[in-house]
Amino acid sequence: MKNLLAFLSLALLFSACGTVRDCDGNRYRTVKLNGMHWMAENLRTTHYADGSPIPKGDATTRDTIGAYYFDYGNRKDSVRKYGLLYTWKAAVRETDSASADVQGVCPDGWHLPDDAEWTAMTQGCAAERSLHRVPVSSQNMRIMKRFVRPPRGGYFYKDAYANVGEGSFWWSASPFEDGTAIGRYIDDISYPCPYVCFGKVCNGYSVRCVKDGAKITTPKTKRQKRKKSSQ
């Protein structure tokens, strides 16, 4: 019974929502997470929502800070499975503002999640784990693992492709400092919840988009619930 309640609680946290298309016609599954609708797959468009093309990067552009996307040798099966990698400038479409939703490379009605939205998603994962006191490898947490799978790796300005099949990197819309931006990284062997990383804007990371107009909600832990009930 306890396991059933735990599963139903997590199902409410991660509920299927449907699909969304980009301007290239690619369709993506979506999920609702903590009041926000997220893409459940990595973006793989080569155009912005208005049809403007995104330049394809290669070895000659990997040290630059321009807007580029990268693939794995133009292999369609790889792109379909893993999505494409984008420099931060491509992900935000040259927008450095952190004061409003940044559509960037996302479809109309969607935007690149900022650090606060990623944090809310991470807190939800951590709160769920704490709430039910389940190990990382439990069946309940596999839903989170499916959300962040498959491990895409990244494209780095020094070493080209790395961490393929081992972990994933995603951009947020939030800049950091000295030519870097805030992102998220996950290695599901060690932990299923994305955590903060800081990457050079010329790196190629995956992109997940969030639907506009969402209200961030954060699940309460048992301690917070006990404190409220005692007041």
Per-residue model confidence as pLDDT tens digits over 192-214: 678 888 999 988 899 999 999 87
Contacts with 93 (C-beta within 8 Å, 6 or more apart), sequence order: 48, 67, 102, 103, 104, 105
Q: How far is CA 97 from the centre of its chain?
A: 19
Q: Is the pLDDT of residue 220 over 60?
A: no
Model confidence at 6, pLDDT cuts 50, 70, 90, reads: very low
pLDDT band at 165 (very low <50, low <70, confident <90, very high): low
Say which residue, 78 or 162, is predicted with more confidence: 78
**What percentage of residues in the chain have a pLDDT greater than 70?**
58
First-to-last C-alpha distance (Å) of the chain? 29
Q: Report the pLDDT value the prediction gives residue 14, as an integer from 0 to 100.
A: 47
Residue 22 DSSP SS3: coil
Query: In this predicted structure, what is the pLDDT of residue 149?
Result: 62
Q: What is the pLDDT of residue 65?
A: 75
The domain limits of the chain are 2-230
Indicate the average pLDDT of the chain. 75
- Paired sense of beta strands 85-86 and 69-70, if any: antiparallel
* Residue 28's pLDDT band (cuts 50, 70, 90): very high
pLDDT digits (tens, 9 = 90+) for 58-117: 766 666 678 999 886 667 777 888 889 999 999 999 775 555 789 999 999 999 999 999
Element (H, E) at 142: helix 142-148
Q: In residues, how long is the chain?
A: 231
